[in-house]
Chain A
Amino acid sequence: MFEKILRLENISVVYGDKKVLYDINFSLRRGEILVIAGESGSGKSTILKAIDGLLGKGGAIIDGQIFFGDREITMLSDGERRKISGAEIGMIFQNAGASFCPIRTIGEQIFESVTAHKNWTRENFLERAKIIMKNINLEENVLDEFPFRLSGGMAQRAGILAAMILEPKILLADEPTSALDAVTQVSVVKELLKLRKNHGISIIMVTHHMGVAWYMADKILIMKNGRQVEFGTKDQIFNAPEEVYTRELIKAVPRLERSF
């Protein structure tokens, strides 16, 4: 339960000539939830992209190492990266609906990502999918739907299903609740917690919502301007923050939301 599953050592990232991440250091244990918080543009999402090799054009890790278990995954070939993405590391996007091709059904695309890794038949896939769908209150007919036909909450759950179907060890979630209404936010957060409980999965979640951080996190990483300001357990961060910036962030959370 306590093995370190992911470790970032002095990671720095540039986009073109611009440095966007400076010396990021943290580690994640099995079953742990790490929340990365901070204002927009602080480099929160870039950390997730760096871990999953999704920095895209112009983006590159120029310093440091990322370890997945004992394996270094900082610079993988496309082929090696593909084996990990989806199977070992799952990703949920802020706008999950847009992470699916609009003219193909959800089921078709999730099955496609499954067959990129496993030799499952359609029946195997449906069987597995049903178990997860039950966990996250997703109806089965969603698989036959096109992405644009789903509500924000349903699309987000379809995204969670796509990320979870192969039971990866780590789930990277980029503001998974921020595009949702308050009620749906609460249920998606609860469903993510349930996934951790039932599957022992580790989660790194990016959010600017300190209420969500308070509710979900085991550990919290505070980011500002591409630098990590503070990293510690939830209690440390909320009850004994060392940095002024952390205190300001926490102050911004209304009292009521802390009991969220």
Chain B
Amino acid sequence: MKKYIFSRLIQLVPILIGITFLTFGMMQFAADDAVDILYEQSGSVAEEIKAAKRAELGLDQPFLIQYGNWLKGVVTGDMGKSFISGKLVFETFAEKLPATFELMLVSILLTIFIATPLGILAAVNQNKFVDYLIRTFSFIGNSLPNFFVGLLLIYVLALKLNLLPIMGRPNDFSSVIMPALTLTIAMGAKYTRQIRAVVLEELAKPYVVGAKSRGVGEWTILTKSVLRSTLIMIITLLALSMGSLLGGTAIVETIFMWDGVGKMAVDAILTRDYPLIQAYVVWMAIIYVMMNLAADLLYHWLDPRVRYSEGGA
């Protein structure tokens, strides 16, 4: 098992090099660079000043050398400084992470609390009115794009009813509700369908008939056997969702001015802030690989069939 984890972590190295090289390369195709954007607001600035700034940031070097320098820095633990703010990339990142983490946690928990009972309710009442109702809502939730749901929530909850703040505010829990709800509506709809499908699949298995023939109550069958079996799959899926949420949700964070890594990435792209973009890309790759690994390990740990077939975890 240790060997397995180790080999998965080793795989991170080529992934990281490949993905950072690609992003670095793509940024070169952009027509303007960080210096152009930095001085955009200052009116016309002499090309000499821009050139000096480029030299200072190392932007005058050939592409491969720039990338090499960046890589050297990363390996020695130096992610560089932001071109725009001049602050350390690592610090900037560490500042934004808690907000993203908070949003991820709240929306995942909301999703679990909404989707699990709804999915089970729909499955148990398959093809009855409740099922149709839940399926209709989850279909709608699934089809609405994030930005639209976000704007709708702002219009209703903030502007009309004046219940919640529009923008993200630090240390104010009420401001996380709307962005989290926006994410939850799509995710919850997806998970409701997902949970309904796996519960239905489990309910059709012969062990359910077996348990009934032994006089076990439906509630016990549902909670002890069916749910436990479906949880294995749901938890695995949730780990992957957590991964994508930890990458920050650029659109939602931007709409709600939520000061997380997603918004930071959008801002960094708009200002061609290479070091920050690179740091973001590295973070995303690490999170994805780690969350995939966590999902795999959870799966091994939760399902005795996998555990035994691979000779013990």
Contacts and interface: CB of A to CB of B under 8 A. Distances in A.
Task: Tell whether A and B belong to one assembly.
Answer: yes
Interface of A: 52, 54, 56, 78, 82-87, 90-91, 93, 95, 98-104, 109-110, 112-113, 116-117, 146, 148-149, 162-163
B229 interface: yes
Given A87-B215, A116-B217, 11 more contacts: A56-B209, A85-B213, A90-B213, A91-B213, A95-B206, A98-B207, A101-B211, A112-B211, A116-B215, A116-B216, A116-B220
Contacts of B308: 146, 148-149
A110 B220 CA distance: 13
Contacts, number: 92
A112 B224 contact: yes
Nearest to B210: A99
A103 B307 CA distance: 11
B229 A99 contact: no
Interface of B: 205-207, 209-218, 220, 224-225, 228-229, 232, 302-305, 308
In terms of DSSP, what is the predominant structure of the interface of chain B? helix
B216 A103 contact: no
B229 A82 contact: no
A54 B206 contact: no
B212 A85 contact: yes
Closest 6 CB pairs of A and B: A99-B210, A86-B215, A113-B214, A101-B225, A91-B213, A86-B214
Given A85-B215, A146-B304, A103 B210 contact: no
B209 A104 contact: no
B178 to A, nearest CB: 39
Given A112-B220, A146-B304, A149-B308, A100 B215 contact: no
A113 B215 contact: yes
B215 A84 contact: yes
B207 to A, nearest CB: 5
A146 B213 contact: no
11 contacts: A54-B213, A85-B215, A90-B213, A91-B214, A98-B206, A102-B304, A103-B225, A103-B229, A103-B232, A104-B228, A109-B211
Contacts of A162: 210, 214
Contact of A103 (B206, B209, B217, B228): B228
Contacts of A101: 207, 211, 224-225, 228-229
A90 B207 CA distance: 15
Contacts of B205: 98
Contacts of A113: 211, 214-216
A13 to B, nearest CB: 16
Contacts of B229: 101-103
Contact of B305 (A90, A109, A112, A148): A148
